[in-house]
């Protein structure tokens, strides 16, 4: 992904790539004057309601099942503070810094619409966390949709909890003081706004889209290497044949495969050696293409949510003519379904990769030395890495079970249908990590297979991929510690520059 130094939010639709630029690559985030004006207008409505004494959920009432308890005066500020403290009850290992930053980005996007009603200084404080490198430590577990993750972010604005700052874990109060920032004094609705909406699942899913997009391209590259190493029949990728099944993803994958294999003497000399290849070899366009189409659908759903208002209640109009509406926009069903669907697609990418890599090490079907090593017997070669890939595939099958179908009843029957969207997004990240390792293993094996076929020219793209890996991982002449090789291959799959170089070798990966 190209480096972006600054992202301005508030003048038009935001893309998931904008979230990634801020959360992962450290771009500075700013709000446009129009966004600040919307935020100030909404706050004016909240202050008018407080002054009038009109009852409005979450502004001057308790929350959830306590929505009929009316509050006033200092109780409103205390409610906001208590909301954060009581909701900050997550458990488990903390999120990665980029995950927390993505959540904060998505929350600020929600507020920028000016339908929430929180104070300007709360949004300014969240921007300061991002732009000054103060990242709250947020436990990963405990959300049935939203609430806990953003509560852990919110308490850091109060000077409570811990943060990652300048490479260390320190008290939030210490980091704020080091940056000359004062702990926030909250007002009416501020606490509810901070924990409400779908920023957790949406921010996490934006990062997942970046990783899935990169993996789909690498899957084509590595799949093409396996195809070539196994001397596949290129007729299955013929442009005329592929065009007869016009799924968009399938067309892109077919084009990638043909470009990657262009000029291969291995492929040319293999024409006609068998009637047809195994499905894991000849169906790469169909399977990878279907996964790409699900990715496109998921991206549409997630990006739509990113540009949505997901607060409850919403404040509409102006301080002189307003409405306060309780509704269910914080329900994250769309994102939860998208994350679940994408988890299935990514698990399938890993599943077909495992079938291909198994063929590479099996001399009964590969035509290559057993387990891709000279002197098999004294050397076990690549035997056990296939076990690792199979184990990761098995775990992905479990993780690909839809989270959105689960349900619980919370808040004294008030919240009785839940999306489990944050859980769906988090397990999607685990599926992506597993698939990265599976593809890294296939990459190692395909590159090792090339060592036994070096007498002929490889495809222009597959040869580039082989060379890129060999810059980091030497050929496997005899048994050695394999775990570092897998780690090096996986690191290459996360390297944007390497993918760009591959694309350049064939005039662009689709």
pLDDT digits (tens, 9 = 90+) for 294-324: 999 999 999 999 999 999 889 999 999 999 9
Total domains in the fold of the chain: 2
pLDDT, residue 145, reads 66
Structural domain includes residue 171: yes
Range scoring the smallest mean pLDDT among 50-59, 70-79, 325-334, 401-410? 401-410
**What band does 462 get if pLDDT is binned at 50, 70 and 90?**
very high
Query: What three-state secondary structure class fits 457?
Result: coil
Judge if 296 and 424 occupy the same domain. yes
Whole-angstrom distance, CA of residue 466 vs CA of residue 37: 54
Query: What Cα–Cα distance (Å) separates residue 30 from each residue in 33, 324, 414?
Result: 10, 28, 37
Whole-angstrom distance, CA of residue 161 vs CA of residue 3: 32
pLDDT, residue 293, reads 98
**What band does 382 get if pLDDT is binned at 50, 70 and 90?**
confident
Which of 198, 203, 427 has the alpha carbon at shortest distance from 334?
198
Structural domain includes residue 219: yes
Judge if 121 and 230 occupy the same domain. no
Whole-angstrom distance, CA of residue 411 vs CA of residue 419: 15
Which of 102, 120, 123 has the alpha carbon at shortest distance from 27?
102
Average pLDDT of span 163-173? 97
User: Between 509 and 327, where is the model more confident?
Assistant: 509
Judge if 278 and 171 occupy the same domain. no
Q: What is the domain extent for residue 372?
A: 210-302+344-505
Structural domain includes residue 390: yes
Cα angle at 84 between 83 and 85, to 5 degrees? Answer: 95
Whole-angstrom distance, CA of residue 141 vs CA of residue 420: 11
Give 89-101 pLDDT, tens digit per residue.
Answer: 999 999 999 999 9
Judge if 395 and 461 occupy the same domain. yes
141 has a pLDDT exceeding 90: no
Judge if 232 and 181 occupy the same domain. no
Element (H, E) at 297: helix 284-306
Whole-angstrom distance, CA of residue 246 vs CA of residue 239: 11
pLDDT, residue 101, reads 98
Judge if 378 and 265 occupy the same domain. yes
% of the chain beyond a pLDDT of 90: 77
Judge if 122 and 176 occupy the same domain. yes
374 has a pLDDT exceeding 90: no
Whole-angstrom distance, CA of residue 317 vs CA of residue 324: 9
Name the active-site residue from 25, 57, 322, 443: 57
Judge if 103 and 239 occupy the same domain. no
Q: In the structure encoding, which two tokens stand for residue 92, read together? A: 């488990």
Q: In the structure encoding, which two tokens stand for residue 152, read together? A: 């852990």
Judge if 140 and 231 occupy the same domain. no
Whole-angstrom distance, CA of residue 86 vs CA of residue 91: 13
**What band does 247 get if pLDDT is binned at 50, 70 and 90?**
very high
Structural domain includes residue 319: no
Whole-angstrom distance, CA of residue 438 vs CA of residue 458: 23
146 has a pLDDT exceeding 60: yes
Domain boundary among 196, 219, 239: 196
pLDDT, residue 274, reads 93
300-309, 368-377, 416-425, range with greatest mean pLDDT: 300-309
64 has a pLDDT exceeding 80: no
Structural domain includes residue 233: yes
Domain boundary among 196, 223, 249: 196
Q: What is the DSSP letter of 174?
A: H
Domain boundary among 174, 196, 218: 196
The burial class, CB within 10 Å (0-12 / 13-18 / 19+), for 471 is exposed
Average pLDDT of span 125-148? 90
Structural domain includes residue 458: yes
378 has a pLDDT exceeding 80: no
pLDDT, residue 380, reads 83
Instruction: Say whether 57 is catalytic.
Output: yes
Judge if 154 and 276 occupy the same domain. no
Judge if 142 and 223 occupy the same domain. no
Structural domain includes residue 102: yes
pLDDT, residue 75, reads 86
Contact 259, 314 (CB under 8 A): no
Write out the E strands in 218-365.
314-318, 321-325
Structural domain includes residue 318: no
Q: Residue 75 maps to which CATH number?
A: 1.10.275.10
Q: What is the DSSP letter of 182?
A: P
On average, the pLDDT of the chain sits at 93
Range scoring the smallest mean pLDDT among 322-331, 369-378, 442-451, 460-469? 369-378
The burial class, CB within 10 Å (0-12 / 13-18 / 19+), for 87 is buried
Whole-angstrom distance, CA of residue 435 vs CA of residue 214: 12
Judge if 404 and 490 occupy the same domain. yes
Range scoring the smallest mean pLDDT among 238-242, 301-305, 371-375, 431-435? 371-375
Which of 105, 330, 342, 321 has the alpha carbon at shortest distance from 203?
105
Give 171-216 pLDDT, tens digit per residue.
Answer: 999 999 999 999 999 999 999 999 988 999 999 999 999 999 999 9
């Amino acid at each position: 992904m190209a480096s972006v130094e600054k992202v301005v939010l508030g003048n038009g639709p935001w893309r998931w790539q904008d979230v990634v630029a801020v959360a992962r690559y450290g771009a500075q985030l700013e709000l446009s004057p129009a966004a600040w004006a919307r935020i100030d207008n909404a706050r004016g409505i909240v202050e008018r309601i407080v002054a009038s004494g009109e009852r409005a959920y979450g502004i001057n009432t308790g929350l959830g099942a306590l929505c009929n308890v009316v509050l006033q005066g200092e109780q409103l500020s205390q409610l906001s503070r208590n909301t954060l403290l009581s909701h900050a009850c997550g458990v488990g290992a903390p999120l990665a810094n980029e995950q927390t930053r993505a959540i904060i980005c998505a929350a600020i996007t929600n507020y920028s619409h000016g339908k929430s009603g929180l104070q300007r200084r709360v949004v300014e404080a969240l921007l300061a966390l991002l732009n000054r490198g103060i990242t709250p430590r947020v436990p990963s577990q405990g959300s049935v949709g939203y609430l806990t993750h953003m509560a852990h972010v919110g308490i850091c604005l109060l000077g409570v909890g811990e943060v990652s700052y300048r490479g260390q874990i320190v008290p939030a109060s210490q980091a704020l003081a080091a940056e000359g920032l004062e702990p926030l004094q909250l007002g009416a609705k501020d606490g509810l706004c901070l924990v409400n909406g779908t920023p957790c699942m949406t921010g996490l899913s934006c990062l997942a889209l970046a990783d899935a997009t990169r993996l789909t391209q690498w899957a084509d590259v590595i799949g093409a290497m396996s195809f070539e190493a196994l001397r596949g029949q290129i007729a299955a990728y013929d442009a005329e044949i592929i065009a007869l099944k016009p799924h968009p993803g399938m067309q892109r994958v077919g084009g990638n495969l043909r470009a990657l294999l262009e000029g291969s003497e291995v492929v040319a000399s293999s024409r006609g050696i068998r009637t047809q290849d195994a499905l894991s070899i000849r169906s790469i366009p169909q399977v990878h293409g279907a996964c790409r189409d699900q990715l496109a659908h998921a991206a549409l759903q997630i990006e739509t949510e990113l540009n949505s208002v997901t607060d409850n209640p919403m404040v509409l109009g102006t301080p002189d003519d307003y409405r306060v509406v309780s509704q269910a926009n914080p329900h994250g069903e769309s994102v939860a379904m998208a994350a679940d669907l994408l988890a299935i697609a990514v698990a399938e990418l890993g599943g077909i990769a495992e079938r291909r890599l198994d063929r590479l090490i099996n001399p009964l079907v590969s035509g290559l030395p057993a387990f891709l090593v000279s002197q098999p017997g004294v050397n076990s070669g690549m035997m056990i890495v296939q076990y690792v890939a199979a184990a990761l595939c098995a775990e992905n099958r479990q993780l690909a079970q839809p989270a959105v179908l689960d349900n619980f009843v919370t808040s004294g029957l008030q919240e009785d249908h839940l999306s489990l969207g944050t859980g769906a997004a988090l397990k999607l990240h685990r599926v992506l990590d597993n698939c990265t390792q599976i593809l890294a293993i296939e990459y190692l094996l395909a590159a090792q297979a090339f060592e036994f076929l070096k007498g002929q020219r490889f495809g222009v793209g597959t040869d580039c991929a082989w060379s890129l890996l060999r810059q980091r991982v030497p050929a496997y002449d005899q048994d050695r510690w394999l775990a570092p090789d897998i780690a090096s291959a996986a690191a290459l799959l996360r390297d944007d520059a390497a993918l760009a170089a591959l694309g350049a070798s064939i005039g662009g990966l689709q």
